[in-house]
Amino acid sequence: RLTEEASATKAEKKQVEKSAEELEKSLKAEVAAIDNQFNGLAREYDRLDLRARNIANYVRALDQEIATLINQRTQLQAEQNLPPSGTGNDPKKPGTPKAQTPSSTNTQQILVINATIDIKNRDRLRYQAEYDRMEIQARDVQRQGTALLSRRQSLINDYQTTTGKLYKEKESLAAKEKFLERRKQEASKPATGSTGQVKALGQT
């Protein structure tokens, strides 16, 4: 009976060890898959971040160009509104020359500047829309990465909890195995005259 019980305990202990090995193997495979996905997300985030920073630089450059064009237009408009050079500018006085009409050159330049500002504003809106899209995609990638890291940590926590239980079970079975081995050794010893019954019979 002790031999059978010891064999069963040994087999149970081996099964616990096998379960621990399979659990570790499964964990490594799942963690490796998660790490691979996370690395892919990290590369995608870096790509989106680089693109977003480039777009932000384009937008800043366009803002500077638009501001420069607006200043040029303001200067040209101010030149058009200057009073004409002459002896005076009071229209009530006789002999005062009439105000000069804006030069066609300034007018043409202003029209060109306005058209250029419109083009650059459209470009700016297009880049801004793309920048907003990059930000949305980057936030989505971040959410996916956070979920993967949470899943990874959850797997590790579950593994540690399960292996802790398996370790305790293995320790208990090992102790039981040693105990049964001692019982087997004791049971296999031949009978001697040192027992109480034998002494009593001898006295009798």
17-58 per-position pLDDT tens digit: 787 788 888 888 888 999 999 999 999 999 999 999 999 999
136-190 per-position pLDDT tens digit: 999 999 999 999 999 888 888 887 787 776 666 667 767 766 766 777 666 666 6
Burial of 124 (0-12, 13-18, 19+ CB in 10 A): middle
101-111 per-position pLDDT tens digit: 556 778 889 89
What is the average pLDDT value for the chain, to the nearest integer? 80
Reported as a pLDDT band with limits 50, 70 and 90, residue 87 is very low
Three-class DSSP labels, the chain: CHHHHHHHHHHHHHHHHHHHHHHHHHHHHHHHHHHHHHHHHHHHHHHHHHHHHHHHHHHHHHHHHHHHHHHHHHHHHHHHCCCCCCCCCCCCCCCCCCCCCCCHHHHHHHHHHHHHHHHHHHHHHHHHHHHHHHHHHHHHHHHHHHHHHHHHHHHHHHHHHHHHHHHHHHHHHHHHHHHHHHHHHHHHCCCCCCCHHHHHHHHC
77 C-beta neighbours (distance < 10 Å), count:
14
29 C-beta neighbours (distance < 10 Å), count:
10
Q: Bin 142: left if φ > 0, else alpha if -120 < ψ < 50, else beta.
A: alpha
- Predicted local confidence at residue 103, as pLDDT: 65
- Predicted local confidence at residue 86, as pLDDT: 47
Better-scored residue on pLDDT, 73 or 106: 73
Alpha-carbon separation of residue 35 from 42, 141, 154, 162 (angstroms): 10, 14, 14, 22
14-25 per-position pLDDT tens digit: 777 787 788 888
- pLDDT > 70: percent of the chain: 76
Distance, CA of 77 to chain centre: 53
pTM, entire model: 0.59
- What six digits make up the tokens of 204? 């009798």
